[in-house]
């Protein structure tokens, strides 16, 4: 069955530290998409990235980078030189082809606290 695991419930770092948020997924499909969303303390959900299963190229966007490894079913997210504004809950999500519900399957989220 499809599943997304974010084993880190909470992470606390000091500003300017690098931090990696782990995401491990399970799926039997060969075609799927992976997503990361950010939920700041204000509560909205902000889309960060989408990656399809055929594109294992890592991506960098400013201080954010994502490492997709099909061999380990992982899609990890690294923030370089963290800032207080990065404090949020981060969700990893999976979308599988062929599912009747066309749903996103979310992990339980990782709360990142960046201390000044």
Partner 1 sequence: DAGITQSPRHKVTETGTPVTLRCHQTENHRYMYWYRQDPGHGLRLIHYSYGVKDTDKGEVSDGYSVSRSKTEDFLLTLESATSSQTSVYFCAISGTGFGDTQYFGPGTRLTVL
Cβ at position 14, least distance to partner 1 in Å:
26
Asked if residue 1 binds partner 1 (CB under 8 A), the reply is no
**109 three-state secondary structure:** coil
Considering only the stretches 20-28, 69-77, 78-86, 88-96, report the one whose residues sit in contact with partner 1 under the rule CB under 8 A: 88-96
CA distance 113 to 116: 10
**Binding track over 15-44 against partner 1, x by CB under 8 A:** ------------------x-x-x-----xx
CA distance 48 to 37: 5
Residues 6 or more apart from 3 whose CB is under 8 A from it? Answer: 25, 26, 105
Q: Would you say 86 or 96 has its CB closer to partner 1?
A: 96
**106 three-state secondary structure:** strand
- Using CB under 8 A as the criterion, which residues of the chain lie in contact with partner 1 when the complex forms? 4, 33, 35, 37, 43-45, 47, 50, 52, 91, 93, 95-104, 106-109
């Amino acid at each position: 069955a499809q599943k997304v695991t974010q084993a880190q419930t909470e992470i606390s770092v000091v500003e300017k530290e690098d931090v990696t948020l782990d995401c491990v997924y399970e799926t039997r499909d060969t075609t799927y998409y992976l997503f990361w969303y950010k939920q700041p303390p204000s509560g909205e959900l902000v889309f960060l990235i989408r990656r399809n299963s055929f594109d294992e190229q890592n991506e960098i966007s400013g201080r954010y980078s994502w490492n997709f490894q099909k061999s380990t079913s992982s899609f990890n997210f690294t923030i370089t030189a963290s800032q207080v504004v990065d404090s949020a809950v981060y969700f990893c999500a999976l979308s599988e082809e062929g599912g009747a519900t066309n749903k996103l399957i979310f992990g339980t989220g990782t709360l990142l606290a960046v201390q000044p």
